[in-house]
Structure 1
Amino acid sequence: MTKILLLGCGNMGGALLKAWAANTDHEFTVADPANPDLPEGVSQVGSVEELGEQVFDYLIVALKPQLIDDVLPAYLPRLSPSGVISSIAAGYSAAKLAAHAPGRSVIRIMPNLPAVIGKGVSGLYAHGAVSENASGEIERLALCSGEIVWVDSEDMLDRLTAVAGSGPGYVFEMLRAYVEAAENLGFSEKDAKNLVLGTVRGTLELALQSDLSLEDLRKNVTSKGGTTAAGLDALNGKGEFSAQIRDTLEAAYKRAVELR
């Protein structure tokens, strides 16, 4: 049986663990002194000493980036000679992980928040020589929480972080502003939220099910001189909204690069 040690178990790590434990037959152990709420069958230790002589096939880092340098080295001896290091920690590069364990295979997973309900999009990046078996195993774990995209460089993983990793934050902010605008038109907070979220949910499902491009779908709902056309002109008549979205992604990507 594949043995996996999860180092740290915060909100994202805990959510992913629940998906992994429910959808695989691996043996999971969590190293976290905070005694997190764990799925049935998952073991937990508060320190490396409590692991005894156990050896693991995979060590998955789910710590805050600022803790990795202090915590990871103590647990590396518990990784088997052919074991693989993986990480869901944002802002901590695969090169830094590899520096702690020269010669080890390293795979980074960049999940986003909807992974907690199995609707996420995760980026995967393999650093150095990674076996097909190891990449396949980490891919299977990532698929437990949604869609995946493999990238071939850490720079592309930073770009993916700007688009998908940080993406839910942008969407929540747009939804907040949309609901606020509906309230300004006279709707109650509850009705405004239901109207906006219902509209977005239906529109998203339509886009996912349609073979038409997003531009064609937009055109289909926009009559010349109508209400939608007036709203779209205010939103993006001179490309202002498109420019803001580009600036948003560029700013997030630039920050991801700074954090490497």
Structure 2
Amino acid sequence: MTAHSNNPLQDINGTIVLAGAGKMGGAMLTGWLARGLDTRQVVVIDPAPSPEIGALARKGVRLNPSPQDVEAVEALVIAVKPQSFREAGAALKPFSASSTLVVSIMAGTTMALLEQVCGGSVVRAMPNTPASIGRGITVAVAAKKVSAAQRATADALLAAIGSVEWVEDENLMDAVTAVSGSGPAYVFLLAEELARAGVEAGLPEALATKLARETVAGSGELLHRSDLASATLRQNVTSPGGTTAAALEVLTGKDGLQQLMIRAVTAATRRSKELAK
């Protein structure tokens, strides 16, 4: 797995068509415009655009034009719900020529299906919800016909919401979905349950919630800024025979977090495979 440098969005000359401007699509659009993509280069296809998208339309983003009014489509970015894709795909096909870059961020939607429905040169990507604050992690895989220049364009579009990693094997995307796509929910659950345990230990609920939330958020930021391995950071908090060691003995025990996390990620990977059928 290798990270690629960002290709500046200013290098994109054609039109970017964004299908679906919900939370993730909207976050991508915000990132593109913040990084200097001209509003007039962006077309948004969304049957129920949010007020925020409406405001951007007044600033130059084109909203729901007919395909024949859109010229030089460089990339079609598909951010609709996977279950809506077969229906929406027919309406999107006219925006895509055989040489158009098609970037999908839909979970469980294979490159083969994307090529069948939309044509084009397909990149399949899986971002996660921290994208909404520009701190996402996206994993992408490109079909064989995607050129180096198209891959660089896809990288630039995805890098607007956080870091990007590329893999060569599409089969890895199910495990990617299970680890980073679904991963934020696991972290939020940790904050939830840490707060609940604090209440059980006698803390007032508001204080327990604040302590858990700030501890998870602060630890995540420390992990982000530090060059040290997560295991080293954990060891740095743990004095032999101390309170942390007593807690970790439970968390790392026979039915502890390691086995639980393996089972959780396995279940999510299996479900991702099922959704792709």
Q: Name the structure 2 match of 1:71.
A: 88
Distance across 2 between alignment mates of 1:7 and 1:215 = 41
Indicate the percent of aligned positions where both proteins have the same amino acid.
37
Cα distance in 1, alignment partners of residues 225 and 90 from structure 2: 47
For residue 82 of structure 1, give the secondary structure of its aligned residue in structure 2. coil
- Where 2:101 maps in the other structure, the secondary structure is strand
Matches of 1:210 and 1:4, distance apart in 2: 36
- Does 2:107 align with 1:90? yes
Q: Deviations over 1:166-200 (max 9, x none)?
A: 00011111110011111222222322122122222
2:6 aligned residue: none
Q: Are residue 8 (structure 1) and residue 24 (structure 2) matched?
A: no
1:92-134 superposed Cα distances (whole Å, 9 cap, x missing partner): 11110011245x2100121100000001001111022101111
Pick aligned residue for 2:239 from 223, 230, 241: 223
SS in structure 2 of the partner of residue 30 of structure 1: strand
Tell me what 2:70 maps to.
54
1:1-260 matches, cutoff 5 A: 1-26=13-38, 27-36=41-50, 37-38=52-53, 39=56, 40-45=59-64, 50-55=66-71, 56-102=73-119, 104-238=120-254, 240-260=256-276
Give the drift of 1:53. Answer: 3.2
Deviation at 1:88, TM superposition (A): 1.1
Aligned partners of 1:155 and 1:257 also within 8 Å: no
What is the letter of the counterpart of residue 77 of structure 2? Answer: I
Larger RCO, structure (CA 8 Å, separation 6 or more): 2
Separation in 2, partners of 1:210, 1:3: 39
TM-score calculated relative to the size of structure 1: 0.91
Instruction: After TM superposition, give the deviation of residue 60 of structure 1 in Å.
Output: 1.2
Q: Distance in 2 between matches of 1:54 and 1:209?
A: 43
Measure the CA separation in 1 of the matches of 2:136 and 2:171. Answer: 21
Please give the alpha-carbon distance, in whole angstroms, between the structure 1 residues aligned to 2:97 and 2:116: 17
Distance, in Å, in 1 between the alignment partners of 2:83 and 2:229 is 42
Q: Please give the secondary structure, in 1, of the residue aligned with 2:83.
A: helix
SS state at 1:174 partner: helix
Q: Secondary structure at the match of 2:100?
A: strand
Per the alignment, do residues 247 and 228 of structure 1 end up closer, same or farther by CA in structure 2, a change over 3 Å counting? same
In the alignment, the residues of structure 2 paired with residue 43 and residue 185 of structure 1 have an alpha-carbon distance, to the nearest angstrom, of: 55
Root mean square deviation, CA, Å: 1.9
Find the residue that maps to 1:237 and give its secondary structure.
coil
Cα deviation, 1:17-60, whole Å, max 9, x if unaligned, reads 11112213251111112132313432111xx6x34432322111
Change beyond 3 A, Cα 1:131–1:173? same
Q: Residues 21 and 28 of structure 1 are in contact (CA less than 8 Å); yes or no, is this contact kept in structure 2?
A: no
Count of aligned positions? 256
Alpha-carbon separation, structure 2, partners of 1:228 and 1:248: 24
Deviates most, 235-244 or 58-67:
235-244
Please state whether the residue corresponding to 2:44 is helix, strand or coil.
Answer: strand
Q: Given residue 43 of structure 2, which amino acid in structure 1 is its aligned partner?
A: T
Q: Given the two structures, how large is their TM-score scaled by the length of structure 2?
A: 0.86
